Amino acid sequence: MKFSFKNDYSEGCHPNILQTLLQCNLEQQAGYGEDEYSLKAKELIKEKIKKADSEVYLVSGGTQANLIVISSILKPYQCAISASSGHVLNNETGAIEATGHKILSIETEDGKLRPSDIIPVLESHKNVPHQVMPKLVYISNSTELGTIYQAKELEELSDFCRQNRLYLFMDGARLGHGLTSEISDLTLERVAELTDIFYLGGTKNGALIGEAIVINTISLQEDFAFNIKQKGALLAKGRLLGIQFLELMKDDLYFDLAKHANQQAMKIKNAFRSKGVQFLADTYTNQIFPIVSNELIKVLSESFDFFVWKKVNEDFSAIRLITSWNTGDDAVNSFIEIINREL
């Protein structure tokens, strides 16, 4: 059976979660997120970010989180701004547009947005009231290209958004990986200070399902629960989400799992680099994009699954390799053995 480096949600969940689910299985708990586990998980997240006035909402997946957040806080004539590689643009089947909100796309090489990228968009949307109003800046950390925001970059973007009355929303499907990157100087607490809304992704980092939406701007908290219910995201058995986030947040398991995934990816990255291989983007998270020959892709494909991400020329393509919290040394070492043999 092939080992898959295609994504970080092919895995099940961390054993701690399964054990707790089993232990409390016969308990009766309140529904719709009012169970003791969900309440404790939300409080623990607020303790981690050191913002008692933030509100936490648990939903099942990333697309669901993006859809609910963007569609609920924007007025009908307002739109979002995203890098061209953004998940909401390319991998959510037009979910945001289906709610009536346009997404303005900005081409960037590294998947990140900077104030200088956004200024032209604002300048070109001043024909009031004939154009949509840019109101929300959507970013991911780590990005779809595996890159991360450093503290100074996020600070500058946050200041710019506040000066221009734009909401800043961070997709945190891989936030654990972004924050535990060996080059990151950003903290979870700082993310909460600098964004209006972000979420902690569990699906790609040790949970069966689940993302924790954190709303830091008080004015956006009002009536948010109605949007979750209306969009079908309020689980009757909310403890399924609560238990998972309680286990992940306890003793920083969430960050330990993400750090492990990053370290496994860096082993593969360093093996490629030692052979002179170039990368589509210089990443330090659990996603890497080496540019390799079609011949090597064919050899690697015999034992491993991965995406051929982008054709570079007739002979070479960038592949995407993603490691997870459960990626073991055996798989990584076997992959590296082929690299050393073939290159």
Where is average pLDDT lowest: 7-11, 304-308, 339-343? 7-11
Instruction: Please give the average per-residue pLDDT across 272-290, as a whole number.
Output: 97
Q: What percent of the chain has pLDDT over 70?
A: 100
Q: In terms of Cα–Cα distance, which of 322, 238, 310 is closest to 41? A: 238
Instruction: Give the pLDDT confidence of 111-169 residue by residue, as tens digits.
Output: 999 999 999 999 999 999 999 999 999 999 999 999 999 999 999 999 999 999 999 99
Q: What's the mean pLDDT when you consider all of the chain?
A: 97
- Supply the DSSP symbol for 220: G
pLDDT number for residue 1: 79
Provide the β-strand partners of residue 213.
57, 199
3-state secondary structure of 22: helix
Please compute the mean of the pLDDT values over residues 193-213 and round it to a whole number.
98
Indicate the SS3 state at residue 135: strand
Report pTM.
Answer: 0.96
Q: Write out the DSSP string of 279-337.
A: BSS---SSEE-BEEEHHHHHHHHTTEE-EEEEE-SSSEEEEEEE--TT--HHHHHHHHH
CB neighbours of 193 closer than 8 A, spacing ≥ 6? 51, 216
pLDDT digits (tens, 9 = 90+) for 50-85: 999 999 999 999 999 999 999 999 999 999 999 999
